[in-house]
Structure 1
Amino acid sequence: MSIVVGFGSDTRSTSALDLASEIAHTTGEDIVLVSVVQDSWDSLRDFAGVDDEWRRQVRTQAGEALAEAREHLGNEHRVVTRARTARSVPQSLLEEVRENRAKLVVAGSASHGALGRIAFGSTNDRLAHSSETPVAIAPRGYTAHPNGIERLVVAVDPTSSDEALAQPVADLASWLGVPVEIVTFAVRSGSRSAMATFADQGVRQAWAELVHEHQVRLAKRIGELSPDTEVSTVQISTGERWSLALDSYGWRGGDLLAVGSSQHGPVARVFVGSTATRIVNHSPVPVVLLPRPAPLKSPRAPRARRPRKR
C-alpha cells in the first residue's frame, strides 16, 4: 500500500508534500511522488522538431521538480518518484492510485485560495468528484505536524444518510490508529441554513436531540467495526457563517477532518455536495474526502420455475 501525491513542475507550494509526509509518519506507508506532464503540444505537430524540443524541456522541468520535492520530504520516508505524460493530470493521478493500490491520494489547495484554507482548482476538484479512493487536500500554506495525525474529526449531516460512512471512517481511523470525534456543523442565520429553518426554540431543541441520537448511532457502529478505535461525539458547532461555525470548533494540531461524499453522487466515488464544499472551503485543517460505499445488495429470492408446455 502507499500514498500517492501529485506534484507538478510548476508547483511552488509544498503543502501537499507536508500532508503526505504527516500521514506517512502516522501510518508508515510509502509515498509515491508523481509529476504529470500534460500532453498539450498537439497543436504544434505541424512544426517539425518543436514538439520534441518542448517534450524534452518539460520532462527536464518535471525531473527537477521531483528532485526538489524528494529533497523536501527528507529521509524519514520511503519515496518513489514517477514522471507521467497524459492529457489529463487528475486522470493520470487516479491511474497511478489504481496501479499502486494506494490507500489515499493527496493534493494541495488551488493557489487562489486564502492562506490556511482550501480552494478547489482544476486538479483537486476533478479528484474530489471522481476518485474511488479517499482524497486528502491540504490547506494553502500547510506545514506538517511533528507528531503526525493525532485525531480524525468526522463532519456529518443531521440525517441518517451519513450512517453509510461508518465503514470508511472505521477503516481510515484504524489505518491511522487515531481516535474519532463526530461533529455536525451548522449556521444560525441565512436562508439556506438548517438552523434558520428551525427558528423556533422548541423545534431547534428537538432537531439538536435528533442530531445527537444520529451521532451516537454512528459512533456505536464505528466502534463495532473498529473495536480499538476510541469514538466520541460533539453535537453541533454553530456560527453566523460557515467560517465561524468551523472556527468555533476546538481544533488541535494533528487534526484531520473527514467529510463524506454526497448521496447524490456516483456510488463508491467521491462527490462533494454543496454543504460539504462549504465545510471544506472553511476548514483550517487538512480534509479527507471519503467515497460513499455502495449499499449492500440483498440476496434475491429464487425465481419460481415455470411449468413446461406440453
Structure 2
Amino acid sequence: MRLIVGYQATPSGEDGIALAAILARTFNATLDICIVLPCERPVPSKAPVEVAYDDILVQQATEWLAEAMALVPDDIEAEGRLLFDESFAQGLIDIATERDADMIVVGAASDGLLGRHAIGSVTSELLHVAHVPLALAPRGTRHSQVERLRGITCAVGNRPGAEVLTDTAFELSTEALLPLRLVSLVSIDSRAAGEDTRTRAARERDMAKADDNLRKAFESLPSRTEVESIVAEGNGIEKAVSSLEWHDGDVLMVGSSRLGQPRRLFLGSTAAKILRVLPVPMIVVPRGVGDRS
C-alpha cells in the first residue's frame, strides 16, 4: 500500500504525518511526504534582483521537507517530494495517480478544537475531487501515543453504492487483522419530544430500517465474516455518533455522498455532521472506487 501525505509546515502537517505513520504500520504501507509549491510566483519588491524568488521558495520548502521527513518514525519507509501545481490539492491528486497510491492523508485545519476535525481549503477541495480514499486526522494527532489501528468502524447507509464502502472496510480489516464494526446511525431530531403513538411508530420504522441496512451490509460480506453490528441513535446524527464508544486507535470509514461523481469524493451533509463530533480519524471512500467496469 502507498499513502500520499499532504504536508504543510504547520501543526496540521504534523498531524497528517502522525496519522500516516499509524496507517503505514497497520497496513505495511510506504509514504510519499509531499509539499506542493505554486508553479509561478512574482518576485517580491524587497528581494535582490539577482535572487530568483522561486529559488528562495524551493530552498525554504526543501528545509520544510527535511523537517517533515525527520518526523517519520525510523520503522516506516518514506520519500519526500516537492511538487509544483497552482492547486495544492490537485498536486496531491496528480501524484496519487502517478504513484498509483491507495490513499491521501491530510491533517485538520488549525482553527479546529483539539481532538476534533476541521476542514481547511485544501481538504475541502480534496473532498470534492479526489479519486482515492481520503484519510483525515483530527487536530492534535501528532500528540497521540497510538502506533497502530485497533479497529475499523464502518458507517452503513442505504443508498446505492454502499456495498463499495463495506467491501473496502472489510478488505482493510482483513489485511490488517483488525476487528470490523458496522454502524447504522439513526437521527431522531425530527421527532416530537413526547413519546406518543405516532412518535413511537416513526422511531420503530427508523430502527427497523437501520437494522435492515446492517443486515444487507453483513450479507454483502464474505461468508463466516465476524463483525460487530450496532444501531446508534440520538437526537441528531451528532448525538448518535457521540453515543458510540470510541477508543484511541479507532478509525471511522464513511462513503462519499450520492451527489459526487463516480470515483470522486463529495462529503455529504451527514458525513459533515459526523465530522464535527468525531474524536477519531475518518476515511472517506469515493463512490465506485472498487468498481471494475
Query: TM (normalized to structure 2)?
Result: 0.87
With over 3 angstroms needed to count, the CA separation of the structure-2 counterparts of 1:39 and 1:211, relative to structure 1, is same
Alignment of 1:258-273 (within 5 A): 258-273=253-268
Task: Evaluate the alpha carbon distance shift between residue 45 and residue 141 of structure 1 in structure 2; reply closer, same or farther with a 3 A threshold.
Answer: closer
Please tell me the root mean square deviation across aligned C-alpha atoms, in Å: 2.9
Mapped to 1, the partners of 2:242 and 2:56 lie a distance apart of 45
Structure 1 residue ranges (4+ consecutive) displaced by more than 4 angstroms after TM superposition: 43-52, 158-161, 294-298
Which is higher, the Rg of structure 1 or of structure 2?
Answer: 1
Q: Contact 2:255/2:287 (CA < 8 Å) preserved in 1?
A: yes
SS of residue in 1 equivalent to 2:168:
helix
Say which is worse superposed, 116-125 or 32-41, in terms of deviation.
32-41
Mapped to 1, the partners of 2:290 and 2:135 lie a distance apart of: 23
Q: How many residues align?
A: 288
Q: How far off is 1:161 after superposition?
A: 5.5
Q: How many angstroms apart in 1 are the aligned matches of 2:69 and 2:234?
A: 41
Q: Which residue of 1 aligns with 2:229?
A: 233
Once the two structures are TM-superposed, the CA of residue 66 in structure 1 deviates from its matched residue by 1.4
- C-alpha change, 1:56 and 1:245, in structure 2 (3 Å) is same
Within 5 Å, give how 1:109-258 maps onto structure 2: 109-143=108-142, 144-158=144-158, 162-189=162-189, 200-224=199-223, 230-235=226-231, 237-258=232-253
The reply to whether residue 92 of structure 1 matches residue 88 of structure 2 is no
Cα separation, partners in 2 of 1:255 and 1:199, compared to 1, 3 Å? farther
Question: Does the residue aligned with 2:11 lie in a helix, a strand or coil?
Answer: coil
CA deviation map 1:215-243 (0-9, x unaligned): 0220221234xx6x5322101x2333444
Change (3 A) 1:294 1:37: closer
Q: Quote the residue 1:291 is aligned against.
A: 286
Q: Deviations over 1:178-200 (max 9, x none)?
A: 22111123333258x9xx9x961
Q: What is the letter of the counterpart of residue 221 of structure 2?
A: I
Which deviations, in whole Å up to 9, do the C-alpha atoms of 1:257-309 show, x marking residues without a partner? 001011121011111111111112221100000011179799xxxxxxxxxxx
1:275 maps to what in 2? 270
- Does the 8 A contact of 1:168 with 1:293 survive in 2? no
Q: How far apart are 1:167 and its partner, in Å?
A: 2.7
- For the Cα contact (< 8 Å) 1:219–1:232, is it kept in 2? no
Task: Say if 1:36 and 1:92, in contact at 8 Å, map to a contact too.
Answer: yes
Taking structure 1 as the reference length, the TM-score comes to 0.83
Distance 2:190 2:287 in 1: 28
CA contact (8 A) 2:89 2:125 kept: yes
Separation in 2, partners of 1:174, 1:281: 29
SS at match of 1:70: helix
Alpha-carbon distance in structure 2 between the residues aligned to 1:86 and 1:158: 38
Deviation track 1:240-264 (CA, whole Å, cap 9, x = no partner) reads 3444332211111210100101112
